[in-house]
Amino acid sequence: MTKVPAADATLRVLSLLSRQRSPLPAARIASELDLPRSTTYDLLTVLVEHGYVLHLPQERRYAIGPAAYEVAAGYARHAPLARVGRGVVERLVDATGESGHLASLSGSDVLYIVEERARGRTSLVSDIGVRLPAHLTATGRAMLAQLAPAQLRTLYPGRQELLRRTDAPSPTTPRQLRELLQQVRTDGVAWESGEVTDGFRSVAAAVLDQAGWPLAAVALTWESSRSEEDRGSLLAERVREAADEIARVVSGRRPG
């Protein structure tokens, strides 16, 4: 098969950036891929225009962009993540007796790709194919906490007021959201209480790939009236275990 040089180089650039935890300068990209600098800059310019790469002018560096996550989300909906995730979520629900779900990040929304309601539990808004604002959900917060600061600034620019669904306290500015995500990184899980649906609480953990980027997040949701501190801690541990199990199967990532 004849190789198309421009397409080959473009895909190599995207593959390189997708494996990095920090943005790279153009010179490093050119060196790593053995590309001429002029070609590298031309490719990066086009990729930035289409949203597949982020340019950070002050740092003179480049990172994977939000459009690339849209492609990843599309893959996740139709490929191993959804199939593997369904089995893990079903076992999680059976073990805990609470409803569970798996969601991927799509821009500033979460997209639910697996939903499993526990026997005797109320139906939730997080049905398959439903989108909700990522900053309000436990699954969204778990994934957002794993993004680079530049990616968060792209998704939540300026001082915009963030959407609320209920009267429960929730972040209303990007700054408040960043502070909340710092706590998520410290805890290793994300919580949500009454911010999506009154009377319900959720805990979620991110499913990470080999580079530490969020592929998805797995969560459990239960009625707040049945919530106890020890119970919440147990469910948090269970979603962490489930997220690691999915990551091991889908990307080969070791737990922890």
pLDDT on residue 120: 73
The CA distance from 153 to 218, in Å, is 24
Query: Under DSSP, is residue 209 helix (H, G, I), strand (E, B) or coil?
Result: coil
Is residue 167 exposed (0-12), middle (13-18) or buried (19+ Cβ within 10 Å)?
Answer: exposed
Please report whether residue 147 resides in a domain: yes
pLDDT average, residue stretch 220-243: 87
User: pLDDT tens, 176-231?
Assistant: 999 999 999 999 999 999 999 888 999 999 999 887 889 899 999 998 876 666 78
113 and 231 in a single domain? The answer is: yes
49 and 160 in a single domain? The answer is: no
44 and 73 in a single domain? The answer is: no
58 and 119 in a single domain? The answer is: no
Residue with token string 């997708």: 18
- CATH number of the domain to which 94 belongs: 3.30.450.40
Better-scored residue on pLDDT, 208 or 251: 208
pLDDT average, residue stretch 13-24: 86
pLDDT average, residue stretch 132-158: 91
Please report whether residue 84 resides in a domain: yes
49 and 73 in a single domain? The answer is: no
Please report whether residue 149 resides in a domain: yes
Is residue 203 exposed (0-12), middle (13-18) or buried (19+ Cβ within 10 Å)?
Answer: buried
**pLDDT higher than threshold 70 for residue 146:** yes
Select from 64, 84, 103 the last residue of a domain: 64
Please report whether residue 219 resides in a domain: yes
Please report whether residue 217 resides in a domain: yes
The CA distance from 133 to 137, in Å, is 7
What residue numbers bound the domain in which 53 lies?
A: 5-64
33 and 84 in a single domain? The answer is: no
Does pTM top 0.75 for this prediction? Answer: no
- Contact indicator for 54, 150 with CB cutoff of 8 Å: yes
pLDDT on residue 99: 93
142 and 184 in a single domain? The answer is: yes
- Contact indicator for 54, 63 with CB cutoff of 8 Å: yes
User: pLDDT tens, 117-141?
Assistant: 888 777 777 777 788 999 999 999 9
pLDDT on residue 121: 78
Sheet holding 200-208, edge to edge: 131-133, 109-116, 99-106, 214-223, 200-208, 190-193
Residue with token string 């969020």: 214
Please report whether residue 35 resides in a domain: yes
Select from 27, 48, 64 the last residue of a domain: 64
How many structural domains does the chain have? 2
The CA distance from 81 to 90, in Å, is 14
Q: For the chain, what is the mean pLDDT?
A: 87
52 and 95 in a single domain? The answer is: no
pLDDT on residue 67: 80
pLDDT on residue 241: 96
If one counts every other C-beta atom within 10 angstroms of the C-beta of residue 182, the result is 11
pLDDT on residue 110: 92
Please report whether residue 256 resides in a domain: no
19 and 120 in a single domain? The answer is: no
- Contact indicator for 247, 215 with CB cutoff of 8 Å: yes
Closest of 185, 223, 224 to residue 206, by C-alpha: 185
Select from 64, 99, 114 the last residue of a domain: 64
129 and 36 in a single domain? The answer is: no
